[in-house]
Structure 1
Amino acid sequence: MLTLVYAFNFIDRQIIGILSPFIKQDLGLDDAQLGYLKGIYFAVLYTVMGIPVAWLADRYSRVNIITLSLTLWSGFTALSGMAGNYLQLALCRIGVGIGEAGGTPPAHSMIADLFAPKERATAMALYALGIPFGIMLAYLASAFVLSGGQANWRSVMIAVGLPGILLAIVLKLTVKEPVRQQTEQERQRPMLDSIVELLKTPSWWGMVLGITLSSFANYAVVGWQMDYFVRRFSEVDIVWLLVVFGVINGTLYAIGVWAGGVIADKWGRSNPGAYARLPALALCVGVPAFLLAIHSESLWLAIAGFTLLQVTSGTYFGPCFAMAQTLSPANCRAMSTALFFFVLNLIALGGGPTFVGVLSEHYTASLGELEGLIAALDWLAIPFVLSILVFGWTSLRLPQDLAKRQAHG
Structure 2
Amino acid sequence: MTIIPGVERLETQDFKANWSWRSNAYAWWVVAVLALALTLSLMDRMIIALMITPIQRDLGLSDTQISLVHGFAFTILYVFAGFPLGRIADKRNRKILAALSVCAWSAMTALCGAANNFVHLFLVRMGVGVGEAGLSPAAVSMISDYFPKEERARPLAFLTIGTTAGAGIALMIGGSIVQMIGNAGNVALPFIGEVHAWQAVFIFLGVGGLAFAALFLTVREPPRSDRVAIDTIPSVGEVAQLIGNRKSFFVPQFLGPALAVLVLIGFHSWMPTMLLRRFDWTMVEAGYVYGALIAIGGITGIIIAGSLGVVLNRKGWNKPELTVALWSTVGAIPFLVTAPMMSSGMVAILVAFPGVAFLTVPAALAPAILQGCTPNEMRGQVFAVHLFVLSLFGYAAGPLAVAFITDSVLRDPQSLHISLSAVAALALPLSTISIFLARRAA
Q: TM-score, normalised by structure 2?
A: 0.85
Partner residue, 1:356: 402
By how many angstroms is 1:106 displaced? 0.9
* 3-state secondary structure, aligned to 2:342: coil
Kindly state the Cα deviation for residue 115 of structure 1 after the two structures are TM-superposed. 1.4
Change (3 A) 1:194 1:361: closer
Match of 1:224 in 2: 270
Correspondent of 2:287 among 215, 226, 242: 242
* Structure 2 letter corresponding to 1:352: G
Structure 2 unaligned residues grouped into runs of 5+: 1-32, 186-196
Q: Which residue of 1 aligns with 2:318?
A: 272
Task: Give the secondary structure class of the aligned counterpart of 2:73.
Answer: helix
CA gap of 1:120–1:206, structure 2 versus 1, over 3 A, is: farther
Give, as a single letter, the amino acid of the residue that structure 2 aligns with 1:31. D
My pick for the range that moved more, 60-69 or 180-189, is 180-189
Of 222, 226, 231, 1:178 maps to 222
- Equivalent in 154, 162, 184 of residue 150 of structure 1: 184
Confirm or deny that 1:164 pairs with 2:220. Answer: no
| Alpha-carbon distance, 1:385 to partner | 0.5
Number of aligned residues: 394
CA RMSD of aligned residues (A): 1.8
Question: Which stretch shifts more, 303-312 or 45-54?
Answer: 303-312
Q: In the alignment, does 2:428 pair up with 1:387? A: no
**Unaligned 5+ residue runs, structure 1?**
399-409
Q: Note if contact 1:69-1:103 (Cα within 8 Å) is conserved in structure 2.
A: yes
Q: Which of 345, 356, 369 is the equivalent residue of 1:323? A: 369
Alignment-mate amino acid for residue 387 of structure 2: F
Q: In structure 2, what residue type is equivalent to 1:210?
A: G
Q: TM-score, normalised by structure 1?
A: 0.91
1:131-175 CA distances to partner (integer Å, 9 max, x unpaired)?
Answer: 12212321122123134222621222122221111111221x111
- Residue in 2 that maps onto 1:335: 381
- Return closer, same or farther for 1:375/1:184 CA change in 2, 3 Å cut-off: closer
Equivalent residues of 1:219, 1:353 under 8 A apart:
yes
Determine if the alignment matches structure 1 residue 51 to structure 2 residue 97. Answer: no
Query: What is the SS of the residue equivalent to 1:226?
Result: helix
Q: 1:204 to 1:299 in 2, by over 3 A?
A: same
Counterpart for residue 106 of structure 1: 138
In 1, Cα distance between the equivalents of 2:423 and 2:379? 35
Change (3 A) 1:182 1:34: same
Contact 2:302 / 2:364 at 8 angstroms: preserved in 1?
yes
Give the partner amino acid of 1:363.
Answer: V
Cα deviations across residues 185-227 of structure 1 (Å, max 9, x unaligned)?
A: 2545744435522442232333211101111222111111111
- Whether the 8 Å CA contact 1:364–1:373 is kept in 2: the answer is no
Instruction: Say which is worse superposed, 130-139 or 84-93, in terms of deviation.
Output: 130-139
Matched letter for residue 272 of structure 1: N
Aligned match for 1:117, one of 149, 155, 178: 149
Instruction: Give the Cα–Cα distance (whole angstroms) in 2 for the partners of residues 82 and 189 of structure 1.
Output: 41
SS of corresponding position for 1:135: helix
Q: Could you tell me which of 330, 340, 348 is aligned with 1:294?
A: 340
1:181 deviates by 1.4
Partner of 1:211: 257
**Equivalent residues of 1:182, 1:330 under 8 A apart:** yes
Question: What is the CA–CA distance in structure 2 between the aligned matches of 1:114 and 1:195, rounded to whole Å?
Answer: 27
For 2:226 and 2:240, how far apart are their aligned partners in 1? 16
Distance 1:47 1:143 in 2: 29
3-state SS of paired residue (1:141): helix
Q: 2:65 aligns with which of 33, 46, 69?
A: 33
Q: Does residue 253 of the first structure (1) align with residue 285 of the second (2)? A: no
**Counterpart Cα distance in 2 of 1:113 and 1:204:** 22
Change (3 A) 1:237 1:59: same
Distance 2:231 2:138 in 1: 17
Equivalent position amino acid for 2:386 in 1: F
2:36 maps to 4
Q: Which residue of 1 aligns with 2:422?
A: 378
* CA shift in 2, pair 1:199/1:120, >3 Å: farther
By how many angstroms is 1:265 displaced? 2.0
Q: Cα 1:35–1:184, aligned 2, differ >3 Å: closer, same or farther?
A: closer
Is the CA contact (8 Å cut-off) linking 1:363 and 1:375 kept in structure 2?
no
2:354 corresponding residue in structure 1: 308
Amino acid at match of 1:300: M
Cα pair 1:208 1:340 within 8 Å, conserved: yes
Q: Deviations over 1:218-262 (max 9, x none)?
A: 21111111111111111x232122112232333232111111111
Q: Do the aligned partners of residues 379 and 317 (structure 1) sit closer, same or farther apart at CA in structure 2, a change above 3 Å counting?
A: closer
**Cα pair 1:141 1:160 within 8 Å, conserved:** no
Mapped to 2, the partners of 1:25 and 1:243 lie a distance apart of 22
For residues 372 and 302 of structure 1, the distance between their equivalents in structure 2, rounded to whole angstroms, comes to 13
Deviation at 1:375, TM superposition (A): 3.4
1:136 aligns with 2:168: yes
- Determine if contact 2:153/2:309 at 8 Å carries over to the other structure: yes
Tell me how far apart the structure 2 counterparts of residues 116 and 295 of structure 1 sit (CA, whole Å): 45
Structure 1 residues 178 and 227 mapped into 2: Cα distance closer, same or farther (>3 Å)? same
Q: Deviations over 1:263-294 (max 9, x none)?
A: 12222342232212212212222221121111
